[in-house]
Amino acid sequence: MNSLKAMKILWLMMSLGLAGCASQSQNPAPVRSITKDYSQQYQTKITGNTYRVKSGDTLFSIAWASGQDHKNLIEINDIKAPYTIFPGQTLKLRGEANNSVVSKKNTDRSNSSTHQQKNIDSRHKNDVDSTSAQGYRQVKAGQERSSTAQTKPRPYGRVKQWLWPTKGTLSGRFSASSLGSKGIDIKGKFGQAITASAEGKVVYAGSGLRGYGELIIIKHSDEFLSAYAHNSVIRVTEGQWVKAGQLIANMGSTGTDSVKLHFEIRYKGKPVDPMKYLPK
C-alpha cells in the first residue's frame, strides 16, 4: 500500500512539472526591435565605382544612396542640362570629371534620336536655370518625364530658417556612428501633417530607397537637402516647388515598424544633425 501510494505521489509531481513547463513555453520570448540597428534600415545602398541606372532613378536618389553630392555625379559624368538619365545608362560614382560611360544600347538610341532630343532640349530651355541646375529628371523605361513641367524655375538661395516638419515626440536622435541614425525620428499619429522644413524643390518622391518607405527629398540650396521618410501619403510631385511649412505628406509607417517621421538633413551629400538647425 505504501509503495502504491508513493507511486501515485511521484506520478502527480511529474504531471505538475510537465504542465508547468508547457505553460511556460506558451509565453513568447521578447523580440528586439528590428529598427534599432539603423545601419540596416537606413544603410547606404550603392558602394561600387559605377552604377547602372534603373527605371525610377533620379540623380538625387542615386547620390543619396551613394552618400555623395549630386553635383559630383554631374561633374564626373559630364551630364549636361537638362540633366536627363536613362535606364541602362552606367554612371561613374568615383573618379575625375569625364564623359559619362553609357551602354552601347543607349549610345545607339541617343545617336538615332539626336533631332528629337534637340527638340526636347529646346522645349525645356526655359524650365532650366543653368546657374542653379534645377532641371533634374527621373526617367521611366521607354519614357522621358520632365520634373520641371509643374513649376516655374527659381534661383536657389540660402536657407534662412528651418522649421520642424511635424509635431510629436522625439524618439530617435542623429548619430555620426556607422551604426547610428542619419537623422531624427518623430513619433506621432497616423495621418498627421508632414510639412516642408524649408522652401525648396521636390527632387524625389517615391519608395525606391529601401528602408525609407514612401520618401520625399527636397532641395533647398546648392548645399542642403532634406528628407521625409515613412509617409502614408505623398502630397507633392517631383519638380514641384514648395514653401516652408507647406503640407507635403501624411505620417505613416511605410518601410518601418511604427508610425513616425524619419527626418534627415544633408549638407553637400553628407548627413548632418537636424537638431543643430531646427528651432529650439
CATH, residue 266: 2.70.70.10
Q: Are residues 184 and 227 in the same domain?
A: yes
Structural domain span for residue 251:
169-276
| One domain for residues 138 and 178 | no
Asked whether residue 35 is domain-assigned, the answer is no
Same domain, residue pair 181 and 117:
no
With beta carbons less than 8 A apart as the criterion, state whether 190 and 253 touch: yes
Domain's final residue, options 76, 110, 144: 144
Strand partners, 51: 91
Structure-block grid coordinates of residue 201: 524643390
**pTM higher than 0.75, yes or no?**
no
Regions of the chain short of the pLDDT cut 70:
1-45, 96-157
Residue 95 is predicted with a pLDDT of 76
Domain boundary among 127, 144, 161: 144
The count of domains in the chain is 2
pLDDT number for residue 24: 38
Which CA distances in Å does 27 have to 17, 20, 30, 126, 257? 16, 12, 9, 66, 22
* Cα–Cα distance, 9 to 6 (Å, whole number): 5
Q: Do 113 and 200 lie in a common domain?
A: no
The answer on 183 and 127 residing in a single domain is: no
Q: Is residue 6 part of a domain?
A: no
User: Is the domain of 226 the same as that of 268?
Assistant: yes
**Structural Rg of the chain based on CA atoms:** 26
